[in-house]
């Protein structure tokens, strides 16, 4: 789907929704056979319906790049590896606190694949959200990349491709919400609830990321490999990222429209290992860097369905040694349409059965104090 078509669809859908009435549907009572404790919220600020599911279709434009910069041999050379992913579409499903999503790469045009190569892509996300806690886990894998800076050393504008270059990333992010009775993370970014009035909350956040970039040969292109000195045979980088910080999130509400902004800042510890082909050995490096988490969401959120635009930015710089440094940049922009039907009776009964089973298996339940 071209950018103009996506924009036209968005404008059309927002125009239809804006002309609809603004009356709120009353939330049905909890029809579960067993009643669990529900976190108290200010119903003037947050609308919650524990009996609804969420089904979402999304289209993502995801920008990923892995840069290597060398200052060896009195030069200044830059490699910018990028997967050739025109876009991603997929589905997400939510019930209660659990969300699961899967995405697939959109097909490439023949011209695009011939000039920039082909990338195999896979993606799985899992989210667990309580009023005070927001957790997001994701696995992403790219195989096959192109160096966007290769026209600088391969005229006339040919692109250096490496079909075996593979990037994998396992990420877990979490936030503690200090004012969950008035601010809903679910309403802002998961859309299983609705924010009814403008409000925000201070956050305590953290991130864990385990990533690997590996090729069958050096990830430094042949024509400029000598310019990277002793690190020209760099074949694999493994990195562990541990970040911790704090920030603020706020949702601005006008009728059924929501604009949510989030910013977290802190510090991150990054132990890493890298493999050099010429010496056939692993080397280690460690550093402390800036941790940042920036997100934005704009949605039209009705009681039973929604449409949303969402973006997130992640930028992570690192240094291997005095002569070579790197940077990982990720930008996600998503268009989402979701529906929140009532959960079927068998789903609610299944949840009740699972909950009762956990209670029976609890070894501390019947112990005397």
For the entire predicted model, the pTM comes to 0.78
Res 75: pLDDT: 62
Which tokens hold the place of 109? Answer: 């045009």
Which fold would CATH assign to domain 54-360?
Lipocalin (2.40.128)
214-256: pLDDT as tens digits? 999 888 888 888 888 777 888 999 999 999 999 999 999 999 9
Contact between 238 and 274 under an 8 Å Cβ cutoff? The reply is yes
199 vs 8, more confident: 199
Identify the three-state secondary structure at position 368. Answer: coil
156-180: pLDDT as tens digits? 767 899 999 999 989 999 999 999 9
Model confidence band, residue 264 (pLDDT cutoffs 50, 70, 90): very high
Range with top average pLDDT, 65-69, 192-196, 279-283: 192-196
Res 3: pLDDT: 43
Q: What are the extents of the domains in the chain?
A: 54-360
Res 122: pLDDT: 86
List of residues 6+ apart from 263 with CB closer than 8 A: 247, 248, 249, 292, 293, 294
CA distance 278 to 217: 11
71 vs 138, more confident: 138
């Amino acid at each position: 789907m071209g950018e103009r078509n996506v924009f036209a669809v968005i404008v059309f859908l927002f125009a239809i929704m804006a002309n609809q009435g603004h009356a709120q549907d009353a939330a049905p009572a909890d029809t579960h056979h067993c009643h669990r404790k529900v976190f108290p919220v200010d119903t003037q600020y947050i609308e919650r319906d524990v009996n609804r599911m969420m089904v979402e279709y999304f289209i993502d434009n995801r920008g990923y790049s892995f840069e290597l910069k060398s200052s060896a041999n009195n030069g200044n050379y830059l490699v910018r590896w990028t997967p050739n992913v025109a876009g991603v579409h997929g589905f997400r499903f939510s019930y209660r606190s659990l969300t699961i999503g899967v995405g697939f790469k959109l097909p490439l045009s023949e011209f695009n694949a011939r000039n920039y190569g082909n990338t195999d892509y896979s993606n799985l996300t899992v989210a667990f959200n309580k009023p005070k806690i927001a957790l997001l886990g994701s696995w992403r894998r790219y195989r096959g990349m192109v160096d966007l800076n290769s026209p600088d050393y391969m005229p006339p504008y040919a692109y250096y491709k490496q079909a075996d270059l593979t990037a994998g990333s396992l990420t877990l992010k979490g936030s503690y919400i200090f004012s969950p009775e008035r601010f809903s993370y679910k309403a802002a970014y998961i859309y299983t609830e609705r924010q009814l009035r403008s409000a925000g909350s201070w956050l305590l956040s953290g991130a864990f990321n385990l990533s690997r970039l590996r090729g069958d040969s050096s990830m430094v292109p042949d024509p400029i490999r000598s310019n990277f000195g002793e690190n020209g045979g760099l074949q694999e980088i493994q990195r562990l990222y541990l970040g911790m910080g704090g920030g603020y999130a706020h949702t601005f509400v006008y009728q059924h429209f929501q604009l949510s902004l989030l910013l977290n800042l802190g510090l991150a510890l990054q132990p890493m290992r890298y493999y050099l082909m010429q010496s056939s050995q692993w080397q280690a490096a460690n550093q402390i860097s800036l941790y940042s988490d920036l997100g934005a969401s704009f949605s039209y959120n009705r009681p039973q369905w929604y449409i949303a635009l969402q973006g997130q930015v992640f930028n992570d710089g690192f240094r291997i040694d005095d002569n070579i440094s790197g940077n990982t940049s990720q930008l996600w922009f998503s268009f989402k349409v979701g529906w929140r039907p009532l959960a079927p009776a068998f789903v609610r009964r299944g949840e009740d059965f699972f909950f009762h089973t956990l209670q029976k298996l609890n070894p501390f339940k019947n112990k005397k104090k």
